[in-house]
Amino acid sequence: MPLRKIADIKFPTCHANFRLLAFERDRIGAQFAEAHTETALALILGDIHSVPPIVRIHSQCITGDVFHSLRCDCHDQLHLALNRIVEEGVGVLIYEQQEGRGIGLLEKLRAYELQEQGFDTVDANLHLGHEVDLRDYALPTEILRFLTVRSVRLLTNNPDKMNALHAADIAIVERISADVPQNSHSASYLSAKRERLGHLSGQEPFQLQHVADTVFAAAK
Ligand SMILES: Nc1nc2c(ncn2[C@@H]2O[C@H](COP(=O)(O)OP(=O)(O)OP(=O)(O)O)[C@@H](O)[C@H]2O)c(=O)[nH]1
Ligand SMILES: [Zn+2]
């Protein structure tokens, strides 16, 4: 499905004066009852072709991003990414709207209810009849290709994002850790991401072998 650029504006924020591009794309897939349009924003700073830019693909989390929920790390990660991009002066933050790992806000809140009964973040999704993680990163990778960004310093702990860029032939010259301090509300959520979803932690170096292992493990 072709990518459509909808807007290209100056975007002054308290962090920096970004350029903001908005994109949409029609999406059809077996897991969707009907075709729908997905959208994403790209906040761009500096000359992104002069060096491999810092890239953050951030999945929407209204509870975290807007209300600074302590149940997850999203708010702090969003600001970590913005701060790193501003420090370096060159970067792209892609904000994509697969809220709740693709199940949507209301289903995520139902999953939170289950987590209050003892389910972890993975089992709660499964109990509600959803896949563990419905996201794919086709739209973000298409945006990077649209921007002719062919090599990046990717800020993430999620091997799925690395796999998606690798598959799209976008080189990851460095993986920057997306670790942020945990708190008593987020500790079990963060450990479930590492132990059940295979997310990296700390400064664990990015290696293509790790990506290959992950693809292999997922295929088994
Ligand atoms: N279904 C579900 N989604 C959640 C839950 N907590 C956070 N999310 C969503 O998870 C997404 C963020 O994904 P994470 O797994 O935290 O991290 P990530 O983006 O995959 O990985 P990083 O790049 O390392 O941050 C956002 O869309 C959140 O809304 C939860 O308990 N259940
Ligand atoms: Zn969150």
Of the two residues 162 and 203, the one the predictor is more confident about is 162
CA 126 to chain centre: 21
d(CA 118, CA 28): 35
Q: Is 75 in the pocket of ligand 1 (CB under 6 A)?
A: no
Helix (H) or strand (E) holding 152: strand 151-155
Ligand 1, atom 30, lies closest to the CA of 121
- Alpha-helical regions (H) of the chain: 74-88, 105-116, 121-127, 138-146, 159-167, 187-197, 208-219
d(CA 30, CA 178): 31
For range 188-215, the mean pLDDT: 72
State residue 127's pLDDT score: 97
Instruction: Identify the CA nearest to 113 among candidates 71, 75, 76, 73.
Output: 71
By annotation, the residues acting in catalysis are 133, 135
Of the two residues 103 and 202, the one the predictor is more confident about is 103
Q: Is 82 in the pocket of ligand 1 (CB under 6 A)?
A: no
Q: What is the largest CA-CA distance in the chain?
A: 50
How much is the ipTM here? 0.97
Domains and CATH numbers, the chain: 4-98+135-219 (3.40.50.10990)
| Side chain identity, residue 38 | E
State residue 1's pLDDT score: 80
SS3 (DSSP) at 2? coil
**Those residues with Cβ within 8 angstroms of residue 39's Cβ, 6 or more apart along the chain or in another chain:** 6, 22, 23, 24, 25, 97
7-18: b or e for each residue (b if 16 or more CB lie within 10 Å)?
eeeeeeeeebeb
State residue 85's pLDDT score: 98
Q: Is 141 in the pocket of ligand 1 (CB under 6 A)?
A: no
Of the two residues 197 and 19, the one the predictor is more confident about is 19
The phi and psi torsions of 14 (rounded to 5 degrees) equal -70, -15
Q: Is 14 known as a binding-site position?
A: no
199-210: b or e for each residue (b if 16 or more CB lie within 10 Å)?
bbeeeeebeeeb
Q: What is the pTM of this model?
A: 0.92
Q: Is 63 known as a binding-site position?
A: no
Q: Are 73 and 182 in contact (CB under 8 A)?
A: yes
